[in-house]
A and B are shown apart, each in its own frame.
Chain A
Amino acid sequence: MKLNFSISKHKLSLWKEKLEAIPLDKLIVPLAILFAVIATYLSYTNDRIITYGDAESHLNIAKRIIHSITSGFAQMGGIWLPIPHLMMVPFVYFDTLWRTGLAGSIVSGFSYVISSIFVYRTFYYLTKHKLSSFIAFMVFALNLNVLYMQSTPMTELPLIMFFMVSSYFFIKFIKNPQDAISLIFAALFGFLASLSRYDGWFLVIFEAMIVVLIHFPLKATIEALKKKNLKWLFKNFQTAEGQVVMFATLAFFGILLWLIWGYLILGDPFYFTNSSFSAKSQQQSWLARGELPAYKHILMALGYYAVTVLSNAGILPFLIALLGFITYAFHKADKHRFYIMIMFSVPFVFNVYTMFVGQSVIFIPHITPTTFEWTLFNVRYGIMMIPTVAFFVAFLFMNSKVTGRVVIVTLLLFQLFLYTVGYSRIITLADGSVGLSRAKRPDAEFWIKEHYDYGIVLLDDYARTVSIVRSGFKMQDIIYIGNKPYWEESLVQPDKYARWIIMQKNDTVWRNLLDNPKTQGRLYKYFEKAYTSPEILIFKRKENVK
C-alpha cells in the first residue's frame, strides 16, 4: 500500500523564492549575540571563564594599567601584545567585571560577533551565495571551541576578528587591485592584528607578499622574463612597489611600534622572544626533557597542528573542509583562488613555523606520546583555523547538489551529537580545565581568601602562586615584578611595604627572601608564617614588631 503526496513544480518554485527571500544576512548579528550570551552565561554559571592561567594574567595586565600601585601603560609589559588588554581596560575598571572575568568575555564576545559578521561577508563577497554564506557563519559561530573561547578573557577572538576583517578587505583588493581603499583598510586591521597576537605578524607579511604576487603572476612573469619584456616587468614593479609601500607603512607599523616599545621600556627590541618570560624560553625545559616533538621536525609540526585543527573544528567539519579545500583548489572559475588559499592558510603556516623553530609547543592527546608529562597544552591555537574551516565547508556546500547539501548539514549536526555523547570533547575547555594551560587552584588560595584582611601583598605573579582575582586582593595592594621600585625594595626589605608575603618554592620571592640568609633573618623578624604547605608559604606581618 502506498500513499502519494504531490506538489506542482510551480508551487515549489514559489516556496523556493520565499526561502531565498529570507534575509539571512539580517539574522547574523542577533544570532551571534544570542550564541555569545548563552555560551558566556554557561561559562559563568559553571565557573569556566577564568580556567586558563593566561586568562587571569590578561585580566590583570589590563587592570594594572588603571589600578595598580604603579599604574600606567608600562604595565602592559613586553611579552603579550597590547591590543586585547587595551580593549579590556574600560571593563576591568569595574571590579566585578574584572574578578568574574566578564571584562574579558565582553571583549572576546564582541570580537566573536564581528568575526561572525565578517565570516559571512567574506564568503558572500566571493560567492554571492546567501545560503552558503550563512552555512559558513553557522560553522564558525556554532563551533563549540570558538563559543567557549569567546566567553573567556583570552586573546584568540580579538585576533580572529582583526584577521577576518583584514582578510575581507584584502580579498576585496585581490579581486580588484585598483581598490586602494580596501588595501588601506586591510592594512589598518592587519596593524591591529599585529598588535593582538604574533600570528598577526605573519598575516601582514603574507598580505604584503600577495600584493607582490598579484602583480607578478607566475606564468605571466616567466613569460615576460623569457621574452625579456622589461616594460611589463618595470610597469608592474612600479605598481607593486607603490602598493606594498602603502600597505606596509600602516600594516607593519604595529610591529615597529612593538619593537620600539620593547627597546624603550625593557631595553631590548626583541624582549618578547629573548626574555626569560617568553614562550621560546619556556620551551627550553621541554627541549631538555626531549618533549618538544615538533622542534626541527617539519612532519611532526605539520601533524601536530593539523590534528589540533581537527580537534578544534570537530572531525566531521574538518573532513568536509578538507574536501572543500580540494574542490576549491580545482575551482578554475576563481582565478584568484590561490591567493585566497594562501590568506586562509596563514594561521596554519604560522603555527607550524613556530613549533618547528621551537617558539611554541602544542601537546594534544591524539598524538602526544603518553610517556610525556603532559599531553594537553595550547590546543586553543587550533581555533585560528576555524574561519578557514568554515569557508571551505561552505564552499563544498555551495558546490553540492541537494543530496550533498543534506549530507553536509546532517554531518555538521551529527558533529554536535558526537560532542553530546562524549566522542568528541571541547578540547579548549579540556585544556583549560585539566590540561597544562589550566589555572592552578592551590589550597593556599582558599586559605588566603578567608584570612586576608587588609594591606599590601608581595608575590611573584609570574609564578601564579595564587589567583589575585579569586583571593579578594585589590590590585592596588599588590606588589609584583612590574611595580618598580616597590618590588626591588621589597626583595631586600620585605617589611618596607608588605603586610602579607606569598611565596612558592623557587619563585623570585622565595629565592630572594627565604634562600638568602640575610633577608631570611629580616623576614622572620618582621613576619610570622601564617600558612604552610610543601609548595607555598604565606607570611603575615607581626603586629607588635616595628
Chain B
Amino acid sequence: MKTKLLFILILVVSAVLYLATLRGIPGNAPGYLIKNNLDQASKPFELSPERGRYILVLSLANNHRFSLSKELAEAAFPDVGYIDGRFYVYFAPGISLLALPFYLIGSLFNLGQVATYAVISVFALLNIVVLFRICRDMFKLSVGPSFLAPLIFAFGSIALSYSNTLYQHHVTAFFITSSLYAVWRYRKEEKFSWLWALYVWVSYGLAIGIDYPNGVLMLPVMIYLAFSTFPLKQTEKKLTISIRLSGIITAIAFVLITALHGYYNYVNFGSPTKLSGSIIGYKQFLQTKEEGTRKGEQLLKKLQSEKNVSGFFQEENIPFSPYTLLISADRGIFLYAPIYILAVLGIFSVLKRLNSELNAILGTIGVHFFLYSSWGDPWGGWAFGPRYMIPSLAVLSIFIGIWLQKYGKHLWAKLLTLILFTYSSAIAFMGAVTTNAVPPKVEADFLKMKYNFLHNYDFLMSGKSSSFVFNEYFSQIMSLQQYYTILFVTAVVTCYILLFIVPMLYKDET
C-alpha cells in the first residue's frame, strides 16, 4: 500500500515538473507564424526537428496529407526534402501521427501547440513507470533504488530537456524499455503471455515508424525475444529446444505494420524501401532551380539517385564521436550528467553475473553507442547535451539502481548520489526551462557563442524561458531564477527522500 502511495506521489510530482517545463505558447501556432518568429531560441520552434514534426502535424490536421504545402515546407526548412514536385519533412512520420490527436484536442482549447508537445511528456511519464517496473520486477531492487533510477533519468539527465518538446527520444526510450520488460514477462510463460510477444512486435514496428535507426537500436531486444521464443533446456541426459509458436505468429503484427510503412513510402516516395531521409533536400532543390530548367532536372535526378541513408553512418566517425558523446566540453554526457558515472560502476558490478536480461540491456547500450558513434553529426545539431544518447540513458539508469542496491546502504554512497544528482539535475533543469538551441563548439567558436550549459545559464540569468507555464502564469509573480530554483529543489528533495527517508520505511526489505 505504501509503495502504491509512493508511486502515485512520484508520478504526481513528475507530472507537475513536466508540466512546469513544457515548452510552448498559447494558440494553435499556424505555419505562417513559425518562420522568423517562433523559431528563435527559447521559442517553441527553435530547432528544426520539433518544427518539422509539428508542421507535419499541421499538414495532417489541416490538409489531411503527408506532403507539405510550399508555405509549410519553407517553415520546416532545412529538414525538408523534395521529390516529384512534393515536399516532405525528413523525419519518420510516427511522432507526428502520435501527436495528431493531442493537437486536435488541444486546438479545441486554443492550446494546439502545447498539447502537441505534451504527447512527449506523456511518454516521459510512461518511461518512469516502465523503468520502475524493470527495477522492481526484473531486478528485484528495493523501493528506493527502483524509484531513484527512473527519477535520475527523468530529472537528473538531459532527457528532461527533451521531455517537453516534439523530439523522438522519449518515445524511442519507451519502446525499448517497455519491450525489454515485455520480453521478460513473455519468458515467464504465464497465462496470455502471447500478448507480451504481440506487444514487442507491435512496438518494434511502431518504433521504426518513429525513428528509422530504431530498427537497429531495438535489435538486442529482438534477439532477446528470439531466445525466449526458442528456449533451450538442459537436463542430465538430454538437451531440449522448444519453439513457442506465439513468438512467431505474433510477428504478423510487425509484418503488417511494416507493410503499412512500406505502403506509405511507396505512395509518397515511389518505393516501399525509400525513406523520407533519402530524398534530396529543399536546399538542393533551390540550387537546381538556379541551374535552369533542363540542367536543373538532370541534376535533381542525379542527386536523387546518389542519396543513400546508410551513408549517414560511417566507420570514419568512430574515433571522434565517442569523445563527443562522452566527455567533450560541448556535449559530453559525463559533463552534463556526471551521475551516470554510477551507471558505469553499476555495469562493472554485474559483469560477473550476466544473464539474458543484462545481456539484452548491455547489448542495447552497445548498439546505441556504436551506432551514434558512427553518426556524422554526434552533436545532434544545435542541441542540449548528447541528445542521441537519451534512450541509452534510460537503460543506463537501471544500472544506477543496481549500484544503489549494492552500495546504497552506506552513507558515503548516499551522499555521493545526492551530490551528483544535485549537479546533474541543476544542469538538466537549466536546459529544460531555457533552450535546446546550443551550438556545438565548432560552430560556437565561429559565432563567438557559448557552447554548453553556460549558454543556458545566460538565458536563465536574463529570464528567457521556453516554459509555457512560466511565461503564461508565473512570469508576473516571480523571476525565472526563482521558478527554476523551485523546480530544481523539488527534484533534489525528492531524491533526498528516496535516498534517506524511504529506506527507513522499508527496513524489513532486503
**Given that A1-B246, A2-B245 are contacting pairs, would A423 and B239 also be in contact in the complex, using a CB cutoff of 8 Å?**
no
Are A422 and B308 in touch, CB under 8 angstroms? Answer: yes
Are B315 and A423 in touch, CB under 8 angstroms? Answer: yes
Q: Give Cα distance in the complex from A4 to B318, angstroms.
A: 44
Are A424 and B315 in touch, CB under 8 angstroms? Answer: yes
* A9: chain B residues within 8 A (beta carbon): 236-239
Are B245 and A4 in touch, CB under 8 angstroms? Answer: no
**Given that A422-B310, A423-B314 are contacting pairs, would A5 and B245 also be in contact in the complex, using a CB cutoff of 8 Å?**
no
Q: Give Cα distance in the complex from A315 to B246, angstroms.
A: 37
The yes or no answer to B240 lying at the interface (CB within 8 A) is yes
Q: Give Cα distance in the complex from A74 to B318, angstroms.
A: 46
Are A5 and B240 in touch, CB under 8 angstroms? Answer: yes
CB neighbors of A among B306-341 (8 A): 308, 310-311, 313-320
Are A423 and B243 in touch, CB under 8 angstroms? Answer: no
* A14: chain B residues within 8 A (beta carbon): none
The yes or no answer to A3 lying at the interface (CB within 8 A) is yes
Are A315 and B239 in touch, CB under 8 angstroms? Answer: no
Are A366 and B319 in touch, CB under 8 angstroms? Answer: yes
**Given that A1-B246, A421-B310, A423-B313 are contacting pairs, would A6 and B238 also be in contact in the complex, using a CB cutoff of 8 Å?**
yes
* A288: chain B residues within 8 A (beta carbon): none
The yes or no answer to B374 lying at the interface (CB within 8 A) is yes
Considering the complex, give the chain A residue whose CB is closest to the CB of B231. Answer: A2
Q: Give Cα distance in the complex from A422 to B307, angstroms.
A: 13
The yes or no answer to B293 lying at the interface (CB within 8 A) is no
Are B318 and A3 in touch, CB under 8 angstroms? Answer: no
The yes or no answer to A307 lying at the interface (CB within 8 A) is yes
Q: How far is the CB of A364 from chain B (nearest CB, A)?
A: 8
* A315: chain B residues within 8 A (beta carbon): 315, 318
Considering the complex, give the chain B residue whose CB is closest to the CB of A425. Answer: B315
* B260: chain A residues within 8 A (beta carbon): none
Q: Give Cα distance in the complex from A9 to B239, angstroms.
A: 6
Q: Give Cα distance in the complex from A314 to B245, angstroms.
A: 38
Considering the complex, give the chain A residue whose CB is closest to the CB of B310. Answer: A421
Interface majority SS (helix, strand, loop, mixed), chain B: mixed
CB neighbors of B among A1-33 (8 A): 1-10, 12
The yes or no answer to A122 lying at the interface (CB within 8 A) is no
Q: How far is the CB of B46 from chain A (nearest CB, A)?
A: 29
Considering the complex, give the chain B residue whose CB is closest to the CB of A375. Answer: B316
Q: How far is the CB of A231 from chain B (nearest CB, A)?
A: 46
The yes or no answer to A367 lying at the interface (CB within 8 A) is yes
* A 293-324 to B, binary, CB cutoff 8 A, 1 in contact else 0: 00000000001000100110011000000000
Q: Give Cα distance in the complex from A9 to B310, angstroms.
A: 45
The yes or no answer to A455 lying at the interface (CB within 8 A) is no
Q: How far is the CB of B405 from chain A (nearest CB, A)?
A: 26
Are B315 and A12 in touch, CB under 8 angstroms? Answer: no
* B320: chain A residues within 8 A (beta carbon): 366-367
Q: Give Cα distance in the complex from A352 to B239, angstroms.
A: 51
Considering the complex, give the chain A residue whose CB is closest to the CB of B314. Answer: A423
The yes or no answer to A418 lying at the interface (CB within 8 A) is yes
Number of A-B contacts (CB under 8 A): 65
The yes or no answer to B241 lying at the interface (CB within 8 A) is yes
* B239: chain A residues within 8 A (beta carbon): 6-9, 12
Task: Choose one: A2, A10, A366; the contact of B318 (CB below 8 Å).
Answer: A366
Q: Give Cα distance in the complex from A314 to B243, angstroms.
A: 36
The yes or no answer to B244 lying at the interface (CB within 8 A) is yes
Are B318 and A5 in touch, CB under 8 angstroms? Answer: no
Are B315 and A418 in touch, CB under 8 angstroms? Answer: yes
* B 223-249 to A, binary, CB cutoff 8 A, 1 in contact else 0: 000000000000011111111111000
Are B242 and A4 in touch, CB under 8 angstroms? Answer: yes
Are B238 and A7 in touch, CB under 8 angstroms? Answer: yes
CB neighbors of B among A439-457 (8 A): none
Q: Give Cα distance in the complex from A303 to B374, angstroms.
A: 18
* A311: chain B residues within 8 A (beta carbon): 315-316
* B237: chain A residues within 8 A (beta carbon): 8-10
Task: Choose one: B236, B244, B308, B310; the contact of A2 (CB below 8 Å).
Answer: B244
**Given that A421-B310, A422-B308, A422-B310 are contacting pairs, would A4 and B241 also be in contact in the complex, using a CB cutoff of 8 Å?**
yes
* B313: chain A residues within 8 A (beta carbon): 423
Task: Choose one: B240, B245, B316; the contact of A366 (CB below 8 Å).
Answer: B316
Considering the complex, give the chain B residue whose CB is closest to the CB of A12. Answer: B239
CB neighbors of B among A391-408 (8 A): none
CB neighbors of A among B451-488 (8 A): none
The yes or no answer to A365 lying at the interface (CB within 8 A) is yes
Q: How far is the CB of A15 from chain B (nearest CB, A)?
A: 11
Are A6 and B240 in touch, CB under 8 angstroms? Answer: yes
Q: Give Cα distance in the complex from A418 to B315, angstroms.
A: 9
Task: Choose one: A1, A423, A425; the contact of B245 (CB below 8 Å).
Answer: A1
Q: Give Cα distance in the complex from A425 to B310, angstroms.
A: 13
Q: How far is the CB of B319 from chain A (nearest CB, A)?
A: 5
* A 219-246 to B, binary, CB cutoff 8 A, 1 in contact else 0: 0000000000000000000000000000
Are B243 and A3 in touch, CB under 8 angstroms? Answer: yes
CB neighbors of B among A418-440 (8 A): 418, 421-425
Are B374 and A4 in touch, CB under 8 angstroms? Answer: no
Q: How far is the CB of A381 from chain B (nearest CB, A)?
A: 17
Q: Give Cα distance in the complex from A123 to B462, angstroms.
A: 66
Are B242 and A310 in touch, CB under 8 angstroms? Answer: no
Q: How far is the CB of B234 from chain A (nearest CB, A)?
A: 8
Are B240 and A422 in touch, CB under 8 angstroms? Answer: no
**Given that A1-B245, A4-B242, A6-B240 are contacting pairs, would A307 and B310 also be in contact in the complex, using a CB cutoff of 8 Å?**
no
Q: How far is the CB of B251 from chain A (nearest CB, A)?
A: 15
* A2: chain B residues within 8 A (beta carbon): 242-245
Q: How far is the CB of A201 from chain B (nearest CB, A)?
A: 29
**Given that A315-B315, A315-B318 are contacting pairs, would A5 and B308 also be in contact in the complex, using a CB cutoff of 8 Å?**
no
**Given that A422-B308, A423-B374 are contacting pairs, would A8 and B238 also be in contact in the complex, using a CB cutoff of 8 Å?**
yes
Q: Give Cα distance in the complex from A1 to B374, angstroms.
A: 42
Q: How far is the CB of A68 from chain B (nearest CB, A)?
A: 42
Q: How far is the CB of A529 from chain B (nearest CB, A)?
A: 37
Q: Give Cα distance in the complex from A365 to B314, angstroms.
A: 11
Q: Give Cα distance in the complex from A129 to B241, angstroms.
A: 28
* B319: chain A residues within 8 A (beta carbon): 303, 307, 310, 366-367
Q: How far is the CB of A274 from chain B (nearest CB, A)?
A: 35
* A1: chain B residues within 8 A (beta carbon): 244-246
* A 333-375 to B, binary, CB cutoff 8 A, 1 in contact else 0: 0000000000000000000000000000000011100000000
Considering the complex, give the chain A residue whose CB is closest to the CB of B312. Answer: A423
Considering the complex, give the chain A residue whose CB is closest to the CB of B229. Answer: A2
* B242: chain A residues within 8 A (beta carbon): 2-5
* A425: chain B residues within 8 A (beta carbon): 315
Q: How far is the CB of B357 from chain A (nearest CB, A)?
A: 14
Considering the complex, give the chain B residue whose CB is closest to the CB of A10. Answer: B237
Considering the complex, give the chain A residue whose CB is closest to the CB of B236. Answer: A9
Q: Give Cα distance in the complex from A325 to B320, angstroms.
A: 23
* A4: chain B residues within 8 A (beta carbon): 240-243
**Given that A9-B237, A423-B374 are contacting pairs, would A365 and B316 also be in contact in the complex, using a CB cutoff of 8 Å?**
yes
Q: How far is the CB of B377 from chain A (nearest CB, A)?
A: 15
Can you show 28 pairs from A to B with CB atoms below 8 A apart? A1-B245, A1-B246, A3-B243, A4-B241, A6-B238, A6-B239, A6-B241, A7-B238, A7-B240, A8-B237, A8-B238, A9-B236, A9-B237, A9-B238, A307-B319, A310-B318, A315-B315, A315-B318, A365-B316, A366-B316, A366-B318, A366-B320, A367-B320, A418-B315, A421-B310, A422-B310, A422-B311, A423-B374
- Nearest first, the 4 A-B pairs at minimum CB distance are A3-B243, A6-B240, A424-B315, A1-B245
Assuming A1-B245, A366-B317, what are 11 further A-B pairs, CB within 8 angstroms? A2-B242, A2-B243, A4-B241, A6-B238, A7-B240, A9-B239, A10-B237, A12-B239, A314-B315, A366-B316, A423-B310
A residues at B contact (CB < 8 Å): 1-10, 12, 303, 307, 310-311, 314-315, 365-367, 418, 421-425
